[in-house]
Structure formats: C-alpha cells, structure tokens
Amino acid sequence: MAAFHYNFAIICRVPNALANRSVGSDNYPKGLDIDKAKQEYETIREVLKNCDINIIELVEDESYPDCCFVDDTAVVIGNTALIARPGHSSRQGEVGEIRKVLKGDLRMNVVEIQNAKATLDGGDVLFTGKEIFVGVGKRTNEAGAQAVAEAFPEYAVSKVNFANCEALHLKDVFNMAGRNVMAVAPGPDVQGVLRQMQDVADYPYQVMQMDSRMATDMLYVNGHLIHHVRSEMGDKSYGTLDEKILWPRHHVQLTELAKVGGTIGSLAILITRTRNPKRIISNIQDEDLGYFTMWKRGTDAPLHLN
C-alpha cells in the first residue's frame, strides 16, 4: 500500500464548549465565534470527502471541549492503531470513543500504551511515509515515544527533543506536503529541531521552507494537498505552493479554530484500512525530485528553497 493513501477518516463535530473551555482558550480569553468554527470544520469535512475518503463523524461531547481535535488521541499507520495518552489530563477521556471506533467498527489492530508514566499526543508523531519522528517535549515524553517504537517495529522511529521549541506539537511546525516533501516553519527553534531530524533520519527529504506556522499547516492525502487560504498563509507562502506543488490543492479557512491551537491535521485521524495488512511504503519516483531544497545532514545552516 502506498504511503499517504487513505480510505477512512475519523472526525468529530465541534462542541460549544470549545469557545471558552478548551485547553487553548487560555490563550484566547475573548472566546471564539463558535458558529464560524463549526463552519470551518464542515468545510474540511467536505474537502476530505472530495479527496475520496469515507468519513466517520463522531457526535461532539460537551464534557471534552477539545474533542474535535481527534489527531491527538491515536497514531494510526497501516492496520495498527496506537491509542494515545494525551499529555493534558483534561483530554485523556477523549480516547474512549476513538478506541471503540478503531477496534469495534474498523477492526484495527489496537495497541495500548503499557507504561503508566507515558504521555503521548498524536500531534507529536510525524509519519513521513518511510519512517517516524516523535517530538518529545511539552505533551509527549520519552516513554510515550518508546510506545510508538514498540507499536510500529517495522519502521525506524526517531525521537527529537522538542522541549525548547515554541510550538506545542511537532506537527505544528513540520508536515508532509507530498511524497518525500516536508514543509517546515520558520524560526531558530524550529531549525534546531530540523537539524536533529536530519542527523537521525534514515532517509533524505526535500524541504519546503514556509514563512509562518499557519503556512506550514497542511495535510497531504490521496495525492491532494489541503492547506490554508491565501489570506491566512500570506502571499509569499501561497506563491511557494503555486510554484512548487504540482498536485491538486484545496484551500480552507481556519481562522477561528486556529485561535485555540487547531490545525488542519488535528481535525482528522486518517486511516488506511486493508483486508490484507501490508507495510505502507513510499512511492516516491525520480520525477518527483528536483523541485525543492534537498535534505542535508550534518549541517548547521538553515535550509531554504532554491
């Protein structure tokens, strides 16, 4: 099965409680326009459908204000689903419904974290199609990263120190924009993490340097790239996509959800459900190379687009 090919996505409706009781609402005391936030969610749901994905939509739970950010609750690669243990205690109850869907409805191979001291947010786990990076820092600890390695022994799993990065999650500043293409946010803290990743990676990647975190927020699925609208990304980063991305694109607005830390990727658990489980492999071709700055290992210099 080719990497980044999915046939299901688990999503969850936006609860009213997100406006003023979510974890991220502490950083936005004015509260959200909850109706607008729900419209943003509905747009992403429709875009995912247009990318040939079957949607499994969960009803919102007002007891869990952040329940719409489902990506933090599980790490799914192939037919294996590792149930996460979110680093913020208020979110740990969210995994119950996700577990039921993954195990009961989709009949995935569900793996539980055994170490009681482990914490793991799915937003800290970046699957490149070839290997896995886990950001250890604010929400995910060493034991949580070890749980990822144990759940997916067929892939190289590399831990990177994310504690000194301003962002909350690894995927707030690193995302795959295509086969073998990694979008990277700006800032010396992010470049420090990038150098760690280059040092431990088993494979090279093409780097697409963006000029804001919001511009880095994207989701590559079934040969399509979902990203923010131009007004949110900025002209420069949007122009970078116009120039460099040769595959179909969909732009969405995420102004309200972003106020409480929401990202495009945080709103979905993408699933490759197969009858005969096989290792997911990258299908990078020679013609896919050459459009971006190449991944360089063992250098202290920041990477930029050619």
pLDDT attached to residue 235? 96
As given in the structure block, the two tokens for residue 188 are: 């010396």
> Residues 60-75: pLDDT tens digits?
999 999 999 999 999 9
Stretch 49-63: mean pLDDT: 96
The pLDDT assigned to 285 comes to 45
Enclosing H/E stretch for 48: helix 34-50
DSSP at 212: S
pLDDT band at 189 (very low <50, low <70, confident <90, very high): very high
More confident call, 304 vs 103: 103
3-state secondary structure at position 91 = helix
Task: For 211-257, write each residue's pLDDT tens digit.
Answer: 999 999 999 999 999 999 999 999 999 999 999 999 999 999 999 99
DSSP string covering 251-279:
EE--HHHHHTT--TGGG-EEE---SS---
Rounded to two decimals, the pTM is: 0.89
Instruction: Return the closest-CA partner of residue 68 out of 215, 210, 254.
Output: 254
Q: Which domains does the chain have, with CATH numbers?
A: 8-275 (3.75.10.10)
- Label the pairing between strands 157-161 and 224-228: unpaired
279 has a pLDDT exceeding 90: no
